[in-house]
Amino acid sequence: MMLRSVRLRLTLWYVVLLAVILAAFCAGVYMLMREQLYHNLDDSIESRSNILLGVILFDDQRPTLTGTVFSQDPDANESFVRVFDESGRVTFENRAFEGEAPVDSLALEHALAGKSNTRTVDVDDTPLRLRTFPVEREGEIRGVLEVGQPEDDVRETLRALLLILAVAYPVTLAGASLGGLFLASKALSPIDSLTQLARRLSAEDLSQRLNMKLPDDEVGRLARTFDEMLERLDEAFRRQRRFTADASHELRTPLTAIKGQVDVALERDRDAETYREVLRSVNADADRMIRLVGSLLTLARADAGQVTIHREDVDIGRVVTDALDHIQPEADRLGVSLAVRPGNGVRIMADPDLILQLTLNLLDNGVKYTGGRGGSLEVSWQNSGRFAELVVSDTGPGISAEHLPRIFDRFYRIDTARSRADGGAGLGLSISRWIAEVHGGSIHAESTPGEGTKFIVRLPTQ
Ligand code: ADP
């Protein structure tokens, strides 16, 4: 249960790791210190014994020392000194310590065999570091010299060190644990805020943000990413709501018109011609609704990613010819002249139905908005690198810079009254943009108000 908190788990791991490392460190320090202290002690015994080996006397080949050495060097009396002859008998002992230092026959044997050795004995309650050296004369071993120095200083120092380590170890560990817990809490507290916010959020209210001023580290980036994700979600939900509201509004307009005409017609008896007139009008409104619902369906399917694109080799020239045939009657009616500047062999891998729809949308707009001014519409296409470029330019009213970036938005119309009269709901260009993009292409518009508008569609050839 307790370990369900990351900060505790992190701290625990960290403390365990630290405990192991710290223990290894303490043991290392202790052992190194011990090694060094004994090394120094042995060095000091060795230099003393070197001096003594130089002043050893031989009495009939038996090595011995005299008290004069010690009177000349009072420091020498701080050491324990003992000399043996070849047979293991003591020939000299300086008696610097009360009590006997036991004789180790094995050590003697070793020394007589030429190997110096070291041991620790207790003399007079003093631990003594005792080293045994062979005494040579003219290349032959004639006896043994034993030099000892008390090692209680060394032991004292080691005990003090152990005490310091024993206190420092838990204190450091406790301090580090608290510090670790504090740091982990500090680092992870934004995650708690994130959890709380996520719990409060619902689709209806995505306006809340963490807005935490955090550094650019893992948690800071997580918090910022979370806010950015909320922003996108919020925007997506807003767009969806707007889309539903706009769509309902657009559908109500023709329905209201139908209802109005039928109501008026039913007020009293009318002749057959009037009924026919009303039915024609109702039929036109129904057509508008069918077109609108068709567009809405296309966009809804596009949003849901449900449209399957059937790509095939498409000759753009053919598509444009089909579209022109379609639009010609309307162009004639509105007095717009159509011109074509064909490109050669421009082919793309695309869904022919969708490309036709895109072309129709552009031509339809061009004719619709240029109409009544005696204007003209020109369509051209050509290869441009890995893309095919389709350009539809008209000599219509143009689009001012403030509207230009928005005409591809859903339901966006510049002159609402005029567009609606013409039957547009502001969905044509957003569908066209979707078609271009779903093929991996793009669409954009350039316009000079008063002179005309040019739509450029780029579609990948492969
Ligand atoms: P609509 O169905 O209203 O035509 P579109 O999405 O096709 O909707 O176009 C959006 C708006 O862009 C139109 O309402 C119109 O104001 C403007 N527009 C589109 N094409 C042209 C054009 N060729 N010339 C001038 N304005 C245009």
Q: What is the largest CA-CA distance in the chain?
A: 164
Counting from 1 in the atom list of ligand 1, the atom nearest the Cα of 408 is: 6
Does the beta carbon of 364 sit less than 6 angstroms from any atom of ligand 1?
Answer: no
Per DSSP, the residues of 261-323 read: HHHHHHSS---HHHHHHHHHHHHHHHHHHHHHHHHHHHHHHHHHT-PPP--EEEEHHHHHHHH
**Full-model pTM:** 0.61
138, two tokens: 């003219």
> β-pairing, 140-150 with 312-315?
unpaired
Per DSSP, the residues of 99-152 read: SPPPP-HHHHHHHHTT--EEEEEEETTEEEEEEEEEEEETTEEEEEEEEEEE-H
Q: Which of 337, 298, 338, 336 is nearest to 320 (CA)?
A: 338
**462 residues of the chain, pLDDT tens digit each:** 456 788 888 888 999 999 999 999 999 999 999 999 999 999 999 998 998 888 888 888 888 888 777 777 767 677 889 999 988 899 988 877 777 788 888 999 999 998 989 999 888 788 899 999 999 888 889 999 999 999 989 999 999 999 999 999 999 999 998 998 898 888 888 888 888 888 888 777 788 888 888 888 888 888 899 899 999 999 988 888 888 998 998 899 889 999 999 999 999 999 999 999 999 999 999 998 998 999 999 998 998 888 889 999 999 999 999 999 999 999 999 999 999 999 888 999 999 999 999 999 999 999 999 887 689 999 999 999 899 999 999 999 999 999 999 999 998 988 765 554 566 788 999 999 999 999 999 999 999 998 999 999 999 998
Cα 247 to middle of ligand 1, angstroms: 17
| Protein residue with least CA distance to atom 8, ligand 1 | 426
Asked if 451 and 434 count as a contact pair (C-beta separation under 8 A), the reply is: no
Does the beta carbon of 371 sit less than 6 angstroms from any atom of ligand 1?
Answer: no
Q: What secondary structure letter does DSSP report for 441?
A: -
Does the beta carbon of 452 sit less than 6 angstroms from any atom of ligand 1?
Answer: no
Does the beta carbon of 10 sit less than 6 angstroms from any atom of ligand 1?
Answer: no
